[in-house]
Amino acid sequence: MKKVLSLILAVVLCLGCTFAFASCGGGETFVSKVGVQKGTTSEMYANILKGVKVASYDTFALAANDMKNGNVDFVIVDKTTANALSSQISGLKVIDNIPLSSENYGIGIDPAQTALKGQIDAILENKAAEIQAIKDKYMNDDTDAFVGVTSAAKNVDNAAGQLVVATNAEFAPWEYASGAEDGGTVYYGIDMEIAKLIADELNMELVIEDMAFDNVVGSVGKQGIDIAMSGITITAERLEVINFSNPYYTESIVVVCKADDTRFDSCGTVVDLLTIICVASEEE
């Protein structure tokens, strides 16, 4: 018995070493190292770039700080967040005139609730002006106009009277928490104010379930969660699991680098950008 075990152990160790050597000495060389937030479309985008080593962080802010520390060359993030971030963290430069790609934010909807998508799409259409105003005030950092949103206590026995929204409230200006009112957390952000608007239109109480971003999409339809609003990009993969509303915002993915990094200054097109950050894939 012991002999068998030690044999297995030996084989495993050998295999482990082989893989370790393969990845160390391997043929792939990296042109650059890019920081992204875990579970975001930026991460997916970065992963398909050739010759790029992707480092995933819990938050954009961590990625940006790590770039300032010199551990990654640049960060790929959503444009809105990039701008919010660079106004708060000094020493960042957002290459926002050249979007790497653009993507549509949608509201994730429980596919089991067939009528809900129609209702939400109707509200997005009818209340387009209000929604635009919400977006504008956050984009322009019009702090005084922000309206805090509070969450009702979740009550699964009153599912019909409550709109339960999954979010990852660490994502200004889309959703974040700040302070308390009546003993409960107060939420701000574009998504939060739109969620409140939708709940009011549906004549429901708003319940905000703040969780890790990795769980937001998967949570829809579970534990009473009706919709997800967390700056979620509509993708084919996500559409397999949940429904989406019509897009309510078109977001670009942009590159953020250190303020003193001049490599991108002469870039005019996406191709210029990509030549700097990754390897062309013509060999394939």
Partner 1 sequence: MWQEFVKQFITRKGYVNVLNGLAITVEIAILGLLIGIVIGTLIAIVRVMPKYKLLPRVLDKICGCYVELFRGTPMVVQLLIGYWVLLPALDVQVNSGVPVAVIVFGLNSGAYVSEIMRGGINSVDPGQMEAGRAVGLSYATTMMKIVVPQAVKNILPTLGNEFIVLIKETSVVSFIAVTDLYKSFKQLGDPTYNYTVPYLMLALTYLVMVLLISAGVRALETKLKKSEK
Q: Which residues bind partner 1 (CB under 8 A)?
A: 59-61, 64, 84-85, 88-89, 153-156, 159, 166, 169-172, 176-181, 183, 185-186, 188, 209-212, 214-215, 218-219, 222-224
Query: What does the block give as tokens for 227?
Result: 């919709």
Nearer to partner 1, 157 or 284 (CB): 157
Q: For 167, how many CA atoms within 13 A lie in the half-sphere containing its CB? A: 31
Q: Are 123 and 201 in contact (CB under 8 A)?
A: yes
Nearer to partner 1, 145 or 212 (CB): 212
Report, in Å, the least distance between residue 188 CB and partner 1: 7
Chain Cα centroid distance, residue 244: 16
Nearer to partner 1, 40 or 219 (CB): 219
Distance, in Å, from the CA atom of 225 to the CA atom of 205, rounded to the nearest integer, reads 13
Report, in Å, the least distance between residue 25 CB and partner 1: 32
Q: Give residue 129's identity as a one-letter amino acid code.
A: A
Nearer to partner 1, 242 or 278 (CB): 242
Report, in Å, the least distance between residue 155 CB and partner 1: 6
Nearer to partner 1, 29 or 90 (CB): 90
First to last CA, the chain: 49
Report, in Å, the least distance between residue 178 CB and partner 1: 5
Q: Are 116 and 164 in contact (CB under 8 A)?
A: no
Burial of 199 by CB count in 10 Å (0-12 exposed, 13-18 middle, 19+ buried)? buried
Report, in Å, the least distance between residue 118 CB and partner 1: 24
